[in-house]
Amino acid sequence: AQSVTQLGSHVSVSEGALVLLRCNYSSSVPPYLFWYVQYPNQGLQLLLKYTSAATLVKGINGFEAEFKKSETSFHLTKPSAHMSDAAEYFCAVSESNTGKLIFGQGTTLQVKP
Amino acid sequence: NAGVTQTPKFQVLKTGQSMTLQCAQDMNHEYMSWYRQDPGMGLRLIHYSVGAGITDQGEVPNGYNVSRSTTEDFPLRLLSAAPSQTSVYFCASSYDREDGYTFGSGTRLTVV
C-alpha cells in the first residue's frame, strides 16, 4: 500500500522567509501526488498536484513543489512567507490501483511577524 | 455548481444513537470518499466509492456503513455512536484518480 510521511508536525518561519514543508512517499509505481491546505475551521483546498508531467509543479498562492523520484520526495516551497499562509498543510498520494487518496499527518505552518 | 455539500454542519449524539451524515455532489464525479480528522492524526479514510453501486473500506471502517445508490449521493451511517467517533468528518469527490479531490466543509460530530 502506498503511504505518505510529512517530516515535522510544526514549522515556524518569519514573514518573508522561505517556506519548506517536507513530504516523502512510498510507491512502487509512478504516483499521483497532491498538496492541500486547510485554514482553521474550514475544509481542505487543493494547492497543487503532480501527475507525471513536469516535475516542478506550480500551485496557487505562490506555492510550488518538486517531484524527485530518486528521493521519493514531493516537498512544498514558497520563496517568501506571508501571514495569510498560516494554516495546516497536507501531502497526499492517490493509490494507482484503487484511486484512494491517502494523507500524511499534516504540518502546521506558523508565520511570525 | 454547489460542489460537495455536507449536512449537518454540527451534531451532538448520545452514546448508542445512530445517525446518517449526508454528502452530495453535483459535479458528476465518480470517486467519493469519507474521512475523519482527529488532532495529530491527519485525515483517515473511512470508506470510499469509485462509482454508483461500488464501495470499499478504508483505514478505519469499523462502526460506519456506506452505500452509493446514485452518482450524486454518498451517505455515511453511524450504527451505534461511541465517544471514540467524536471527530470532524469530511466528504470528498473527484472526477478521476489524478484530478484531486474536492472537499466539503465538514461535519463536526460530538458523541457524549
Whether residues A43 and B94 touch (CB distance < 8 A) is answered with no
Give the mean model confidence (pLDDT) for residues B41-69. 95
| Averaged confidence pLDDT in chain A | 92
The fraction of chain A above a pLDDT of 70, given in percent, is 99
What's the whole-number mean pLDDT along residues A78-105? 92
Q: How many CA atoms lie within 13 A of B4 on its CB side?
A: 28
Test the A interface: residue of B29, B59, B103 with most A CBs within 10 Å: B103
Residue B37, pLDDT score: 96
Cβ distance A43 to B105 less than 8 Å, yes or no, reads yes
CB-based contacts of B33, cutoff 8 Å, min separation 6: A100, A101, B45, B46, B47, B48, B49, B58, B91, B92, B93, B101
Nearest partner of B46 among B17, B71, B21, B83, judged by Cα: B21
Where b means 16+ CB within 10 Å and e means fewer, A71-90 reads eebbbbebeebeeebbbbbb
Q: Give the pLDDT confidence score for residue B96 in this predicted structure.
A: 86
Q: Please give the backbone phi and psi of residue A77, each rounded to the nearest 5 degrees, phi first.
A: -135, 155
Residue type, B62: N
Instruction: Assess whether pLDDT exceeds 90 at residue B99.
Output: no
Contact (CB<8Å) A90/B35: no
Separation of alpha carbons B17 and B81, rounded Å: 5
- Enter the C-alpha cell of residue B51: 462509482
- CB-based contact (8 Å) between A5 and chain B? no
SS (H, E, C) A16-85: CCCEEEEEEEECCCCCEEEEEEECCCCCEEEEEEECCCCCEEECHHHCEEEEEHHHCEEEEEECCCCHHH
At residue A41 the predicted structure's pLDDT band, cuts being 50, 70 and 90, is: confident
Residues 12-41 of A with CB under 8 A from B: 32, 34, 36
Q: How many CB pairs under 8 A join A and B?
A: 58
* Residues of chain A above pLDDT 90, percent: 74
| Pairing between β-strand A87-94 and β-strand A64-68 as defined by DSSP bridges | unpaired
pLDDT digits (tens, 9 = 90+) for B58-98: 999 999 999 999 999 999 999 999 999 999 999 999 998 88
What percent of chain B lies above the pLDDT cut of 90? 90
Put simply, the answer to whether B35 touches A103 (Cβ < 8 Å) is: yes
Of A18-22, A56-60, A98-102, where does mean pLDDT reach its minimum? A98-102
What is the average pLDDT across B8-24? Answer: 97
